[in-house]
């Protein structure tokens, strides 16, 4: 009976270690992005940036569309962290967001976005321009090769 209990306890501990080790393999990096957004009811976004991961820089391209109410143009420069990635390509994908806002001149921005692979972007920065929006938007990030 004691042997069975010890085996059961050992299996539970082993399962916990395996579960922790797979999430412990996830890593993080830093990222800087420049995004230009413009629109007249339907909007578009484009930009570029750099992912810094394990001491190397990886250029990033950004494109996106927004649907809803968007009038004007703005430029946002973000800096932040990328978490829950194992390799640079994990940042690739679509990051969706719903939002509303008005920007005239300069203002602070902060956002947290997640893609389909589970990568999390935690960004803050400054927005400049004149834009009014209430929309659903998606940003597609890809590594430039």
pLDDT one-digit tens code per residue, 86-134? 999 999 999 987 666 666 778 888 889 999 999 999 999 998 998 888 7
pLDDT given for residue 102 in this prediction: 67
pLDDT given for residue 33 in this prediction: 96
In angstroms, the CA 83 to CA 140 distance is 17
Is residue 5 scored above 70 in pLDDT? no
**CATH top-level class of 26-143:** mainly beta
Nearest to 92 by CA among 124, 58, 66: 58
Q: Is 93 left (phi over 0), alpha (psi -120 to 50) or beta?
A: left
Nearest to 62 by CA among 114, 138, 124: 138
Domain boundaries, the chain: 26-143
């Amino acid at each position: 009976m004691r042997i069975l209990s010890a085996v059961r306890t050992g299996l539970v501990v082993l399962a916990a270690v395996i579960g922790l080790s797979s999430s412990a393999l996830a890593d993080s990096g830093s990222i800087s992005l420049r995004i230009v957004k413009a629109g007249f009811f339907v909007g578009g976004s484009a930009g570029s940036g750099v992912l810094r991961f394990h001491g190397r820089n990886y250029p990033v391209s950004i494109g996106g569309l927004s649907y809803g109410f968007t009038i004007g143009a703005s430029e946002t420069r973000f800096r932040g962290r990328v978490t829950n990635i194992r390799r640079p390509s994990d940042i690739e994908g679509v990051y969706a967001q719903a939002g509303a806002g008005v920007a005239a001149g300069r203002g602070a921005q902060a956002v947290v976005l997640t893609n389909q692979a589970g990568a999390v972007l935690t960004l803050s920065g400054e927005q400049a321009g004149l834009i009014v929006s209430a929309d659903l938007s998606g940003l597609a990030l890809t590594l430039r090769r």
